[in-house]
Amino acid sequence: MAIRFSEPVNAIKHSDTGDILKLIAQPDMISFAGGLPAEESFPAEQIRKATELVLQSDSGKALQYGPSLGYDPLRESIANRMNRMVKTNFTKDNILITCGSQQGLDMLCRLFCNKGDTVVVEKPSYLGAITAFNLSQVNYVEIPGDGKGMIMSELKKALDTHDVRLIYIVTDFQNPTGITWSRERREEFMALVDEYEVPVIEDNPYGELRYEGEYLPSLNSFDTKGLVCSLGTFSKTFAPGMRLGWIAANPLFIEKCDLLKQNMDLSTAPFTQRICAAWLENFDFDAHVQEIKNLYKSRRDAMLSAIDEFFPKEVQHTYPEGGLFIWCTLPEYMKSRHILQQCIEQKVAFVPGEAFFTSEGNTNFFRLNYSCNNEEVIRVGIRRIADVLKAILK
């Protein structure tokens, strides 16, 4: 029997990142490979109480089908919080609730791109965005950064030479590099976007998790033409298992996304949306975020100081002011994949950097996650990686 699968499915490239994650799922392995929030950060008891409240007061609506745009009080809370934290000027009409920001990535690429169209991404970029966009069978132009965001002259060159349909960036504590776009770069970027009138996805799952420095405004706050679609999520500040994210954009884009949403899954679960709204109403979100920040800041500091103490000087690394990741650059001749094999023998793991690029090569990078291990374990793990690196560099 010859079953024929669709072109987008046939076009899915096998990535061995999943295989690596399986390989390292051993009980005595120290893994810096995942990108998950720490389970001890989930407010389970508060969620139990919020769930009870919802079932007592609103069980009919909570368990019924719901509006495709989302639950209004939750949309309202999100708009208010964005206005306070990242200086936007939104109402609930600018917000559509999604099943995590991952769904937003899929929807927005479908919204703007046809097969073969060009999407501009950062070099490197978030792997899950690349895999979501791949389903729309787009082509990529990668723009390198300089530690403060994309290099603007390179972006301009791409906009002059390609019919760019969409730009995708992670402005705050990027996955995988941990880098944050400076305020000036955000303004320069928006001036170019304004000139070329290209839609932008500003994906910001980590922005709330800032351990030092000041919060920076969303690209939306510099957007005069309504070109920016911001993606947000409760995955890193509440619980990823609730699968709650959102798209914040101008009402026309929201209206179009709503059409997609109706045809994709009717709506995000009304039950989890109401639990989240009840939790926001009855508990202190700011205090909860502060607790998470305290937990991760201490883990970040432990990893940075262990790297400084143990890693050979040939290895460079980023200094994230927030988020979950540190990005390491090896001398060009070194291959992080080979090093990973030796590290796994020493019971420590990371993600090789290649998966975060749309171009070939780029073999001398790796990503470290610090949210899921305590300070002591982080120190032991970094020392193990350092020993492998030192033996190779000798």
Ligand X SMILES: Cc1ncc(COP(=O)(O)O)c(C=O)c1O
323 binds ligand X (CB under 6 A): no
Residue 204 or 384: the one with the smaller Cβ distance to ligand X is: 204
170 binds ligand X (CB under 6 A): yes
Angle between helices 270-282 and 44-63 (to 10 degrees): 130
DSSP conformational letter for 145? B
**One residue of 128, 217, 226, 312 binding ligand X per CB under 6 A:** 128
For residue 235, the minimal CB distance to ligand X (Å) is: 3
35 binds ligand X (CB under 6 A): yes
For residue 69, the minimal CB distance to ligand X (Å) is: 18
70 binds ligand X (CB under 6 A): no
Residue 245 or 270: the one with the smaller Cβ distance to ligand X is: 245
Nearest to 47 by CA among 267, 247, 240, 268: 240
Residue whose CB is nearest to ligand X in the complex, by number: 100
Using CB under 6 A, which of the segments 43-51, 85-93, 232-240, 246-254 binds ligand X? 232-240
Helices (H) and strands (E) in the chain, counts: 13, 13
- Beta strands at 325-329 and 316-317: parallel, antiparallel or unpaired: antiparallel
Write the DSSP string, 46-70.
HHHHHHHHHHHHHHHHHHS---TT-
240 binds ligand X (CB under 6 A): yes
Number of residues that bind ligand X (CB under 6 A): 14
Residue 159 or 169: the one with the smaller Cβ distance to ligand X is: 169
125 binds ligand X (CB under 6 A): no
**Separation between Cα atoms, residue 67 and residue 18, nearest integer Å:** 35
The residues that bridge with 237 in the sheet, in sequence order, are: none
For residue 183, the minimal CB distance to ligand X (Å) is: 20
Binding track over 83-122 against ligand X, x by CB under 6 A = -----------------xxx--------------------
245 binds ligand X (CB under 6 A): yes
User: Do residues 344 and 384 touch, judged by C-beta distance below 8 A?
Assistant: no
The alpha carbon of residue 63 and the mean position of all alpha carbons in its chain are separated, in whole angstroms, by 30
258 binds ligand X (CB under 6 A): no
For residue 175, the minimal CB distance to ligand X (Å) is: 4
Write the DSSP string, 368-386.
EE-SSS-HHHHHHHHHHHH
180 binds ligand X (CB under 6 A): no
Q: Which residue, chain included where needed, has tokens 């109480």?
A: 49
**Separation between Cα atoms, residue 94 and residue 381, nearest integer Å:** 44
237 binds ligand X (CB under 6 A): no
322 binds ligand X (CB under 6 A): no
353 binds ligand X (CB under 6 A): no
37 binds ligand X (CB under 6 A): no
**Separation between Cα atoms, residue 315 and residue 352, nearest integer Å:** 14
3-state class (DSSP) for residue 223: coil
**One residue of 117, 172, 188, 203 binding ligand X per CB under 6 A:** 203
DSSP conformational letter for 116? T
Residue 100 or 270: the one with the smaller Cβ distance to ligand X is: 100
User: Do residues 82 and 216 touch, judged by C-beta distance below 8 A?
Assistant: no
Write out the residues near ligand X by the rule CB under 6 A: 35, 100-102, 126, 128, 170, 175, 203, 205, 233, 235, 240, 245
